[in-house]
Amino acid sequence: MKWSEISIHTTQEAVEPISHILHEAGAGGVVIEDPADLFKERDTKFGEIFQLSADDYPEDGVILKAYLQMNSFLSETVDNIKQAVTQLEFYDIDIGRNEVILNEVHEEEWATAWKKYYKPVKVGERITISPSWENYNRVTENEIVVQLDPGMAFGTGTHPTTVLCIQALERYIKGKESVLDVGTGSGVLAIASAKLGASSIEAIDLDEVAVEAALDNVKINEVESSVNVTQGNLLDHITGTYDVLAANILAEVIVEMSEDAYKALKPGGVIITSGIIEKKRNLVKESLTQAGFQIIEVVEMEGWVAIAAEKKAEEQK
Ligand SMILES: C[S@@+](CC[C@H](N)C(=O)[O-])C[C@H]1O[C@@H](n2cnc3c(N)ncnc32)[C@H](O)[C@@H]1O
């Protein structure tokens, strides 16, 4: 089968929304070529896992590559992608150069192209994300390995927004918590929560493809007994209350769900939100505070912000 590789030259800020657009358009395996990766410190405990070559990266900005099946809808799909990307500017997202290039590739190239960039990475104090096809053995007793095959869903586990959430989960999950993961994508946060000791995790995604990928990854990681994955819109079908709510979703969506999130948490419960670009930090902080939360920490990575906030036991609305 022939595939068409679509490359979009954009900004770091637009990576997440454009990845989402590409996934929505049915693209498989989004590759992020970000020159910042060349300078990231890699944990030497891994040894020489992989060598990054500067030739594979743009000099400025970020290149997103995804793969679309060559069929009679291709030009329509590409037009829809272009239109959706341009519309991001209305949401005040800097899309940068927005150059869109199409290249024809073959199935075998597609299958290996994005995997070239996806290797085991230590993303937190304890958690390492490893592609499910790599035979990665943990280095220390304390290390937790989350194996992932994101397929066509968002969530290789290495995007800054995901890394910030994983690091926060490491701080807030002590054992036996109930967790709600809204916008689970590949299931990465739900699986990490289970492996950190949470006793029950409800993972939700609107996208059928994400739900399938999450279910597969739950099985790969053998956490079926604690993680339940369902398809749904935000917290629409949630009736219970939880100790921790994780949502790595765009700022506007977090704003939309702030009040429902407050209701879905137990007193003393914590919400961890990510997917927030720097300039939307205050918008989300205000919305969470307005809903009744007390902000407990704001952390940043590569222009992305994650916010953790608590539903204070004595401050219930
Ligand atoms: C940025 S990805 C996060 C994936 C994963 N949790 C992670 O941290 O890497 C956001 C996910 O939210 C899902 N999503 C977007 N809008 C949603 C909604 N209204 N209800 C449920 N899920 C939604 C998308 O399908 C996508 O899988």
Counting atoms of ligand 1 from 1, which one is nearest the CA of 246? 6
Q: Where are the domains of the chain?
A: 2-117, 154-315
Helix (H, G, I), strand (E, B) or coil at 219: helix
Residues tagged in the binding site annotation for S-adenosyl-L-methionine: 162, 183, 205, 248
Pick the CATH number of 154-315 from 3.40.50.300, 3.30.43.10, 3.90.850.10, 3.40.50.150: 3.40.50.150
Pick the CATH number of 2-117 from 3.30.70.260, 3.40.50.2300, 3.40.190.10, 3.40.50.300: 3.30.70.260
Residue nearest to atom 27 of ligand 1 (CA): 185
Res. 45 pLDDT band, cuts 50 70 90: very low
Average pLDDT over residues 118-134: 89
In tens, the pLDDT along 152-163 reads 556 677 778 889
Give pLDDT, residue 308. 98
Q: Which of 188-192, 253-257, 273-277 has the lowest mean pLDDT?
A: 273-277
The predicted-structure confidence for 178-196, as pLDDT tens digits, reads as follows 999 999 988 999 999 999 9
Q: Which of 184, 191, 233, 254 to mutate to test the pocket of ligand 1 (most atoms within 8 A of CB)?
A: 184
How far apart CA 183 and CA 225 sit, in angstroms, is 20
Pocket-testing residue among 18, 19, 20, ligand 1, by greatest number of atoms within 8 A of Cβ: 20
- Edge-to-edge strands of the sheet including 62-69? 28-33, 62-69, 2-10, 99-106
pTM above the 0.90 mark? no
Residue 161's contacts (CB-CB under 8 Å, 6 or more residues apart) are 16, 248, 274, 275, 276, 304, 306
The ipTM estimated for the assembled molecules is 0.99
pLDDT at 297 over 50: yes
> Cβ < 6 Å from ligand 1: which residues?
16, 153-155, 162, 165, 182-185, 188-189, 204-207, 210, 233-234, 248-249, 253, 275
Cβ contact 283:258 at 8 Å: no
